[in-house]
Chains A and B, each alone.
Chain A
């Protein structure tokens, strides 16, 4: 079951990267800038790929 969940959702680091990206988007949206929200989420995800790849 653990292997199945890991295959579907990844490890804690992956979940953390995506959680930060979504939180950044949500925060920027609440500040009234939806355009910045989505592109800042994209930037966080690119940073996440860099971090996950070099771990």
Chain B
């Protein structure tokens, strides 16, 4: 793996984690301001501990079978599953087929639900939000870490995104509405698809299939970004007055 591949993977891990942690932070903050910080931080910390344990256990375990072709294929397919979903969701939102993710609405909804819920239910809401949002981060870190061999830097990227979002949420004390979630999702979707296509193609057709060598991944990312842009701005674009 070249430095270019590792920096692309680092970027995907950081941006992907930033999107997921922003969504989780909205829930944590809403519960913290309703039921208190100790409950919210305790539940969030428990969720993060579960995710960290799963990542630390699975990451090195996968590396043991680094040479196995079918394992490389499975990891490539996993990246395709995440990439195609993230890019399609981002395209649908940019085109106006689906509404943009609204952190303010999620924040208000969670606060209203928490006001009428028991403290135990609030704890579960935070724990579940952190685990469900974070499991995608773990998947990205483990899959990209396995293929690039740079597990530690990618785990550090996800941790850095967590710190950045946590500090921003604590300072703002409100939903992080200014994070360009859809743009980040688009970028992460294109990168995951590029990496996933490269490694799946290599596992299925052999490394000779990619005749552009190291330039293949940036080329694939450009193909997916260009296609995504065309789909969202031209092919699927919904007129302003008719947007979801």
Tell whether A and B belong to one assembly.
yes
Q: Which A positions have Cβ atoms within 8 angstroms of B? A: 3-4, 7-10, 14-15, 17-18, 21-22, 25-26, 28-29, 34-35, 37-38, 41-42, 45-46, 48-50, 52-54
Instruction: Give the docked Cα–Cα distance between A38 and B212 (Å).
Output: 12
- B200 adjacent to A52 (CB under 8 Å): no
Interface pairs A-B: 5 shortest CB-CB: A52-B88, A38-B201, A34-B205, A34-B209, A53-B92
CA distance A9 to B223 in the complex (A): 23
Number of CB contacts from chain A to chain B under 8 A: 109
What's the nearest-Cβ distance from chain B to residue A54, in Å?
6
B200 touching A14 by the CB < 8 A rule? no
Q: How far is the CA of A25 from the CA of B92 in the complex (A)?
A: 26
Task: Assess the B193–A37 pair: CB atoms within 8 A.
Answer: no
Q: Does B228 contact A (CB under 8 A)?
A: yes
User: Could you tell me if B136 and A50 are in contact, using CB atoms closer than 8 angstroms?
Assistant: no
Q: List 14 extra interface pairs beyond A35-B209, A50-B231, A53-B231, CB under 8 A.
A: A3-B132, A7-B133, A8-B78, A10-B85, A25-B204, A25-B205, A34-B205, A34-B206, A34-B209, A37-B204, A45-B84, A45-B193, A45-B197, A49-B228
- Of residues 75 to 95 in B, which have CB atoms within 8 Å of A's CB atoms? 77-78, 80-82, 84-85, 87-89, 91-92, 95
Q: Do residues B91 and A22 form an inter-chain contact, with CB atoms below 8 A?
A: no
Q: How far is the CB of A26 from chain B (nearest CB, A)?
A: 5
Interface extent on B, as a size class? 35 or more
Residues of A within 8 A of B91 (CB): 49-50, 53
Q: How far is it, in angstroms, between the C-alpha of A32 and the C-alpha of B193 when the chains are bound?
A: 24
Asked if B97 contacts A53 (CB within 8 A), the reply is yes
Complex: how many Å from CA A8 to CA B197?
18
Residue B242 at the chain A interface, CB threshold 8 Å: no
Is the CB of B224 closer than 8 A to any CB of chain A? yes
